[in-house]
Structure 1
């Protein structure tokens, strides 16, 4: 079947047939490691060493607060050819990013179709991200079904293996459920409390990122709030809770939710866009700037969606950039959202 490239948070999406080059590139990347970082390459500007959660903040080994800023890949089953040695060099050196979210869909042609292949692919990309001085978020990209317990077996298998391979790498964080939806917080918390020990068995000190209710909106998209987490937190240490927003859709109510939650909970914005919640449409840079101002004030780390040349306005590169192998640097290959987010990463 022709895959349907999904929108963030499960909105309808246009059906797209991947190019032959994209398919071949993805297969090649699954079989071969990415090119190593060039000798003498400068690491990302914020390489703070091992991270941990201190209070409501992400901190370095010395207890100093750290704010990470970077990009998320699109689904690796479609856009692995956008993640190359050259594109990662550009992200680390030209964009000056310090974190990359490696987005591995579980369904929709992703992990469940080839667990070994996708584990190898994620492992290779994480190695290359961290070789360039950046942090890597391993994103177990659950979306449909929204109940994470439907993929509990897959999660156990995947995280047991990837944490075994990456044990001892201080630049790895684990996001165990992208956007839970349609289920209560108690179900999500129960899932987290079964998956986190699998990671801890191999990597006891890593930061784990827990998806929140209603497409990682801290519950607000389904009429809830962060209070349900405050009242019944995940029973584990060194964790953060995720929040996702799209500035042209998620207005003051969502910004207020992030404001309140970040005063009481450790929050990491592992996905956001300047567009509508479909990842497409016009950009609301003014609202996005308000979110970034709050995140700067609170030291909330963030990752923008997405580092690809997908047709939507939320993909930073113009269509065809990945298939032609770049260029990756400067603003020439970028859509307006790409120009905006590159500027804000560099400004940090």
Structure 2
């Protein structure tokens, strides 16, 4: 049991490495002079925000008229990640990350506000309250994406929404209103030109007038056309705002929207921002990511150098920003470590009462965002090094756990017992040498009867709690033992002195004694031996100025160096539908970037045919984001058009190690640009695991399902035509409280009118 736990710790550590390797190299800090900046000014000092002219440019200023830069994080969609809205998370962002702003991404469509107006509004209100309580500005974001025109019927509630929020928080200096996230061309959309901007302006002005008429002078942010890439268009025709307190949103992805020195092409985001600043309007970068932009999904690597260039530009021009996003899904831009099968557990969106996410709970993107928000030097942790602690003895079973007086002990009178779930040593009056080196005459204890069998590879220290009735001096030398490393003399004993002891609630005193591998050469020998790092016994040589002490929580700790284990797939082959895998390739199928399962995809025999297979073990403790935790396989560049067919069909085979509860729900998704980068089959294919005994089995013992999706039934009333290219195409095998552990096989993926063949 303990060995399995240690192995799991190593596997989990490997995951951190596999998840974290960036594509681009770390940025060189010296390249940019404006990355190290002062801590962000908080609302308690900055007060109400205003736009003023400084050095010929409009910029955001605090209540005293001093320039202020807001730096912080965006939430992901509150409909998908409501757990982000908690006080501990907001406190961590404000205090540990140094954020002075947080952006609440309240999606309107995509199962957001329109689906649950009361629930979504409550989440926003809680977020505003937490932001105010934790001394941050807060952006209330009407997060519109599809359709792309803020005047569309889907967004008709915007004015009423902002009127209600502003009535709850009249002229509150912490609040910023973002009226339309990313106007774009998705039908009915807006064009990336002056005409498109006029549509946005005509939408925004009545809402701004309503806010001003009610006495709200708050900063307002208005999105710009082409997914908020074109602030230059707003500069040519600014909105009418009686308070003159409107900024224009610019959004970018560091891996797609590169910094530029070209000041002529206004279609480039940085050029557009420069044009806007030079033509009299303020810009607020309310959303940006360290990753690439790929339709609605961010993927690929992390682009530190480009991001440094961007942020240096922002600091030079006092442009405020929020990074995307404080989340724990499998997007590379997410700030917290996600779930990935057999590798990492997801970081909780609630960091706990200490209001801190540890370094290993923060993703590589989050680590970068945190440093840049704080304005400090970016020093990434070495994700090939993972700290560990392995418990050896805790005495919680009310026994001495195999400890006794060693047969070579010079002092035989010590009595050992378990008292208060600790190892009690009575009769130490004859074992009283507390010096560093003259410890050989003291009592020797050993755990040879314990059945100890613990792997201590890479251990650097051995620690234990020493408990006494009154503060004392206790000196302990240690000789760990393994099969091949039976004895090397301790270099010295290690002391805890009266000043080290702390009074406990039960009236006792406790100190922690730490023995290094330099103090105990045998610890070093065992921990560094790749062939014999299993601890089988431990000898403690104990001296004390008091006749009775207790010892508890004996443990080793150190740092593992992680070696990435490559995953070997079958050849990917040429993307094609139908996919029958008979050429021993994957026919272009691969893991989606956001899949929580990313093991080997191999071509194997199933039902006397070649099929693509993978192993999946659905987690017992369910992560909050089961969508990205589940397996996603994806096909791209196959020119997947259904022609005259109404269905997508395939054979699925299951070979479970265990499967007794819950179900697997299969989704069909396309990110086709022709369908607005996201369309999903309305009907999902359900596989209940409670009735496997009723399912047809093949001659090779596999459970067989003929899966089909009706392409005439697509969410959102979207229509797939015979010539619609469905690339990229994704199948998601969603976890519905299931316990499936085993292999899946997929074969004969095709468009068809016959769902039986």
TM-score w.r.t. structure 2 length?
0.38
From 347, 355, 371, the counterpart of 1:321 = 347
Q: Does 1:161 align with 2:164?
A: yes
Q: Does 1:342 align with 2:370?
A: yes
Alignment partners' CA distance in 1, 2:121 and 2:214: 16
Distance 1:331 1:124, change over 3 A: same
Alpha-carbon deviation of 1:194?
Answer: 1.9
2:210 alignment partner in structure 1 = 198
What secondary structure, in the 3-state scheme, does the structure 1 residue paired with 2:80 have?
Answer: helix
Alpha-carbon deviation of 1:281?
Answer: 1.6
Distance 1:325 1:69, change over 3 A: closer
2:250 alignment partner in structure 1 = 243
Alpha-carbon deviation of 1:258?
Answer: 2.2
Alpha-carbon deviation of 1:116?
Answer: 2.0
Alpha-carbon deviation of 1:329?
Answer: 2.5
Structure 1 gaps of 5+ residues are: 1-42, 220-225
Q: Does 1:274 align with 2:290?
A: yes
1:194-249 deviation digits (Å, cap 9, x = unpaired): 22123223342101100001000016xxxxxx1x3222111112100000000100
Distance 1:202 1:270, change over 3 A: same
> Do the aligned residues in 1 keep the contact of 2:101 with 2:322 (CA within 8 Å)?
yes
Alignment partners' CA distance in 2, 1:95 and 1:231: 37
Alpha-carbon deviation of 1:324?
Answer: 7.4
Distance 1:321 1:196, change over 3 A: same
Alignment partners' CA distance in 2, 1:324 and 1:304: 19
Give aligned pairs, total: 299
> Do the aligned residues in 2 keep the contact of 1:274 with 1:284 (CA within 8 Å)?
yes
What secondary structure, in the 3-state scheme, does the structure 2 residue paired with 1:174 have?
Answer: strand
Distance 1:168 1:256, change over 3 A: closer
> Do the aligned residues in 1 keep the contact of 2:291 with 2:333 (CA within 8 Å)?
yes
Alpha-carbon deviation of 1:45?
Answer: 4.7
What secondary structure, in the 3-state scheme, does the structure 2 residue paired with 1:243 have?
Answer: strand
Structure 2 gaps of 5+ residues are: 1-38, 191-195, 261-267, 339-345, 377-757
Distance 1:255 1:344, change over 3 A: same
> Do the aligned residues in 2 keep the contact of 1:105 with 1:141 (CA within 8 Å)?
yes
Alignment partners' CA distance in 2, 1:44 and 1:89: 15
2:47 alignment partner in structure 1 = 49
As a proportion of its length, which structure holds more strand? 2
> Do the aligned residues in 1 keep the contact of 2:40 with 2:69 (CA within 8 Å)?
no
1:168-196 deviation digits (Å, cap 9, x = unpaired): 32100000000001211110010011221
What secondary structure, in the 3-state scheme, does the structure 1 residue paired with 2:151 have?
Answer: helix
What secondary structure, in the 3-state scheme, does the structure 1 residue paired with 2:157 have?
Answer: helix
Distance 1:136 1:83, change over 3 A: same
1:61 alignment partner in structure 2 = 63
Alignment partners' CA distance in 2, 1:266 and 1:324: 34
Which structure would you say has the larger Rg?
2
Alpha-carbon deviation of 1:136?
Answer: 0.2
What secondary structure, in the 3-state scheme, does the structure 2 residue paired with 1:194 have?
Answer: helix
From 80, 83, 86, the counterpart of 2:85 = 83
1:278-316 deviation digits (Å, cap 9, x = unpaired): 332201110010000000000000000000101101110
Alignment partners' CA distance in 1, 2:285 and 2:88: 26
Distance 1:152 1:109, change over 3 A: closer
Q: Does 1:295 align with 2:294?
A: no
> Do the aligned residues in 2 keep the contact of 1:163 with 1:203 (CA within 8 Å)?
no
1:215 alignment partner in structure 2 = 227
> Do the aligned residues in 1 keep the contact of 2:71 with 2:373 (CA within 8 Å)?
yes
Distance 1:285 1:44, change over 3 A: closer
Q: How big is the alpha-carbon RMSD for the aligned residues of Structure 1 and Structure 2?
A: 1.8
What secondary structure, in the 3-state scheme, does the structure 1 residue paired with 2:313 have?
Answer: helix
What secondary structure, in the 3-state scheme, does the structure 2 residue paired with 1:139 have?
Answer: strand
> Do the aligned residues in 2 keep the contact of 1:82 with 1:309 (CA within 8 Å)?
no
What secondary structure, in the 3-state scheme, does the structure 2 residue paired with 1:283 have?
Answer: coil
Alpha-carbon deviation of 1:152?
Answer: 4.5
Alignment partners' CA distance in 2, 1:76 and 1:333: 21
Structure of higher RCO (CA pairs closer than 8 Å, 6+ residues apart):
1
What secondary structure, in the 3-state scheme, does the structure 2 residue paired with 1:112 have?
Answer: coil
Distance 1:154 1:302, change over 3 A: same
1:144 alignment partner in structure 2 = 146
Q: Does 1:174 align with 2:177?
A: yes
Alpha-carbon deviation of 1:330?
Answer: 3.8
> Do the aligned residues in 2 keep the contact of 1:180 with 1:213 (CA within 8 Å)?
yes
Greater alpha carbon shift after TM alignment, 323-332 vs 88-97: 323-332
> Do the aligned residues in 2 keep the contact of 1:308 with 1:322 (CA within 8 Å)?
no
Alignment partners' CA distance in 2, 1:114 and 1:272: 27
1:92-112 deviation digits (Å, cap 9, x = unpaired): 110010000011000111101
Alignment partners' CA distance in 1, 2:208 and 2:47: 22
As a proportion of its length, which structure holds more helix? 1
What secondary structure, in the 3-state scheme, does the structure 2 residue paired with 1:76 have?
Answer: coil
Question: Which aligned pairs between 1:90-101 and structure 2 lie closer than 5 A?
Answer: 90-101=92-103
Alignment partners' CA distance in 1, 2:348 and 2:214: 35
